Amino acid sequence: MTRTLESRRADDMTDLERDLVHLARMALAGRGQDVQMLLQRMARRYSRSNEAIGKALQDLLRDAPSADAPLRGLGNTAPVPLDMDSRVPLIRPDHLAPTVTPVLSRDVRDAVDQLCEEHLGRDRLLSAGLTPSRSALFVGPPGVGKTLVARWIASRLDLPLLVLDLSSVMSSYLGRTGGNIRKVLDYAKASPSILLLDELDTVAKRRDDGAEVGELKRLVTVLLQEIDDWPASSLLLAATNHGDLLDPAVWRRFEAVIDFPLPDAAQLREALEQYCEGEAPSDVLTVIARSLAAQGASYSEAHRVMTTARRRAALADQPVGAKLLDVCGEQLRQLPFAERVRLAVDLVQSDHMSQRRVHELSGISRDTIRKRVRHQESQG
Q: Where are the domains of the chain?
A: 2-63, 91-259, 265-379
pLDDT at 168 (0 to 100): 61
Instruction: Residue 144: name the closest of 244, 246, 265, 263 by CA.
Output: 263
What is the rounded CA–CA span in Å between residue 124 and residue 112? 19
What is the rounded CA–CA span in Å between residue 349 and residue 58? 61
Kindly give the pairing relationship between strand 91-94 and strand 161-165. antiparallel
pLDDT above 70 covers a percentage of the chain that reads 79
Q: Which residues in the chain land under pLDDT 70? A: 1-13, 26, 29-34, 37, 48, 62-78, 83-86, 88, 97, 165-178, 203-217, 380
pLDDT at 66 (0 to 100): 41
pLDDT at 174 (0 to 100): 57
What is the rounded CA–CA span in Å between residue 268 and residue 152? 18
The dihedrals phi and psi of 295, each to the nearest 5 degrees, come to -90, 0
pLDDT at 371 (0 to 100): 86
pLDDT at 9 (0 to 100): 46
Please list, residue by residue across 67-104, b when 16 or more beta carbons sit within 10 angstroms of its beta carbon and e when fewer do: eebebbeeebeeeebebeeeeeebbebeeeebebebbb
pLDDT at 226 (0 to 100): 78
As beta bridge partners, residue 246 has: 205
Pick the CATH number of 91-259 from 3.40.930.10, 3.40.50.300, 3.40.50.670, 3.40.50.720: 3.40.50.300
pLDDT at 76 (0 to 100): 54
pLDDT at 74 (0 to 100): 39
* H/E run at residue 53: helix 51-63
